[in-house]
């Protein structure tokens, strides 16, 4: 299996990283999250100008036509800089669902074009997520009813706000009534669409968790290099070095697991769900360890609003249960590896899908 990214993917990631470093500094995020909406149309517009919202949109609709592998890099950048996950929900997860709808469906082409130019915000309601992110700001809501896919406007639903430990999260409980007029897919087609959507949602969160883990590690390394105890930097103590080295190891272990899952999704591997669940768990473990060791080296001040660590730590905690919690993904892995005739061992791990 070749995990090498091409020059276009790496250059795009570098450009997005440089852009977000300037436009999404922690001070800017704090100011933004204290507003009622918690969102900045200006920032979203600038992100669209960079091409991120067009990444997965087909070229026929004004997009770049890239797939899951490219998003495995982009979601890490979104996590590293604490960008709200609803951006990835629209530009990546919902975009994939829209592309799976019949081309004859009225509105489909226009929706994809608006995703590409950043003027359309989409919220996704899947049973695995009882609370929907950014539903109050969404132009469209894609909702599941059994195997059915329904498209609704914000005026067609009732919303109930739900607080989150993560200041960037704007969650709503959505109440709505399914109708034939809003149904755009059902049966086997609808079931397949929701399965792909769930896998893309979980992969999106996994990438963000990995980016968050790296950001928390970087913040912790910077802190222990500056903070002094007993006349020398805190980072000079072996116990602190071991803690942060453990985090670095978890991050490096999780990266190929994430990339393997992205490759499986993009290439239609029948084991994609298994690989996605493995990635979600591996990246979640890295983020949790980064948060725990980060707060240990920072001390209690790491929880305070003024310290950047708390922004990314709380986000990691909140995202850990999005698109399936640990129990859900462990159960999916158990179903796969304990099934009769399961293909296990290194001989099957990197076998190309037939």
Give 271-285 pLDDT, tens digit per residue. Answer: 999 999 999 999 999
Q: Can you read off the two tokens belonging to residue 300?
A: 């209690």
pLDDT of residue 140 exceeding 50: yes
Q: Measured between alpha carbons, how far is 211 from 129 in angstroms, rounded to an integer? A: 22
Task: Give the orientation angle of helix 68-80 with respect to helix 238-267, to 10 degrees.
Answer: 150
Which residues sit opposite 158 in a β-bridge?
Answer: 175
Q: Which two tokens stand for residue 216?
A: 């928390």
**pLDDT, mean of residues 241-247:** 88
3-state secondary structure of 152: strand
Q: ∠ at Cα 188 (204, 183), nearest 5°?
A: 80
Interstrand relation of 140-145 and 122-125 (parallel, antiparallel or unpaired): parallel
Give the pTM. 0.93
CATH 3.40.50.2000 fits 189-349, yes or no: no
Residue 287: the pLDDT is: 97
Q: In which band, very low, low, confident or very high, does the pLDDT at 154 lie, cut at 50, 70 and 90?
A: very high
Of the pLDDT bands very low, low, confident and very high (cuts 50, 70, 90), residue 350 is low
- The confidence band for 351, taking pLDDT boundaries of 50, 70 and 90, is low
Token pair of 82 as six digits: 């604490």
- Only one residue has tokens 């406007």, namely 153
CB count within 10 Å of CB 354 equals 5
pLDDT tens digits for range 91-100: 999 999 999 9
Q: How confident is the model at residue 228 (pLDDT cuts 50, 70, 90)?
A: low
pLDDT exceeds cutoff 50 at 339:
yes
The C-alpha atoms of residue 234 and residue 222 are separated, in whole angstroms, by 10
Are 208 and 274 within 8 A, CB to CB? no
Radius of gyration of the chain (CA): 20
Measure the CA angle with vertex 91, ends 259 and 131; round to 5°.
Answer: 95
The number of angstroms, rounded, from the C-alpha of 288 to the middle of its chain's C-alpha atoms is: 15
The confidence score (pLDDT) of residue 306 equals 86
pLDDT number for residue 299: 82
The residue that leads in pLDDT, 351 or 97, is 97
* For residue 235, pLDDT beyond 70: no
With H, G, I as helix, E, B as strand and everything else as coil, classify residue 127. coil
DSSP assignment string, 221-252: HHHHHH-EETTEEGGGSHHHHHHHHHHHHHHH
**pLDDT reading at 101 higher than 90:** yes
* Interval 253-302: pLDDT, tens: 999 999 999 999 999 999 999 999 999 999 999 999 999 999 988 887 88
Conformation bin of residue 47: beta by default, left when phi > 0, alpha when psi is -120 to 50: alpha
pLDDT higher for 233 or 68?
Answer: 68
What's the distance, CA 325 to chain centroid? 13
pLDDT score at 354: 46
- What does the alpha-carbon distance between residue 268 and residue 158 come to, in Å, rounded to a whole number? 36
- Is pLDDT of 202 > 80? yes
């Amino acid at each position: 299996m070749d995990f090498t990214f091409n020059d276009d993917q790496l250059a795009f990631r570098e450009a997005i990283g440089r852009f977000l470093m300037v436009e999404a500094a922690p001070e800017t995020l704090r100011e933004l999250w204290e507003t009622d909406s918690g969102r900045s149309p200006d920032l979203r517009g600038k992100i669209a100008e960079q091409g991120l919202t067009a990444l997965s949109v087909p070229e026929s609709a004004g997009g770049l036509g890239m797939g899951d592998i490219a998003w495995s890099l982009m979601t890490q950048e979104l996590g590293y800089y604490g960008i709200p996950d609803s951006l990835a929900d629209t530009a990546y997860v919902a975009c994939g669902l829209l592309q799976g709808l019949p081309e004859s469906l009225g509105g489909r082409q226009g929706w994809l074009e608006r995703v590409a130019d950043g003027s359309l915000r989409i919220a996704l309601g899947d049973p695995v997520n009882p609370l929907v992110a950014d539903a109050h700001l969404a132009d469209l809501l894609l909702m599941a009813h059994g195997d059915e896919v329904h498209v609704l406007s914000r005026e067609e639903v009732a919303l109930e706000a739900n607080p989150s430990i993560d200041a960037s999260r704007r969650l709503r409980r959505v109440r709505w009534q399914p109708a034939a007029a809003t149904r755009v897919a059902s049966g086997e087609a609808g079931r397949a669409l929701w399965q792909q959507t769930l896998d893309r949602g979980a992969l999106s969160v996994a990438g963000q968790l990995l980016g968050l883990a790296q950001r928390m590690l970087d913040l912790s390394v910077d802190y222990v290099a500056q903070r002094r105890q007993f006349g020398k930097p805190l980072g000079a103590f072996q116990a602190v070095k071991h803690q942060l080295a453990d985090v670095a190891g978890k991050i490096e272990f999780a990266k190929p697991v994430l990339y393997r899952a992205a490759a499986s999704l993009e290439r239609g591997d029948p084991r994609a769900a298994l690989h996605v669940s493995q990635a979600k768990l591996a990246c979640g473990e890295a983020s949790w360890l980064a948060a725990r060791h980060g707060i240990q080296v920072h001390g209690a001040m790491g929880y305070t609003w003024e310290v950047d660590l708390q922004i990314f730590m709380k986000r990691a905690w909140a995202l850990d249960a999005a698109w399936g919690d640990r129990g859900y993904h462990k159960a999916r892995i158990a179903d796969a590896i304990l099934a009769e005739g399961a293909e296990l061992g290194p001989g099957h791990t990197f076998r190309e899908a037939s």
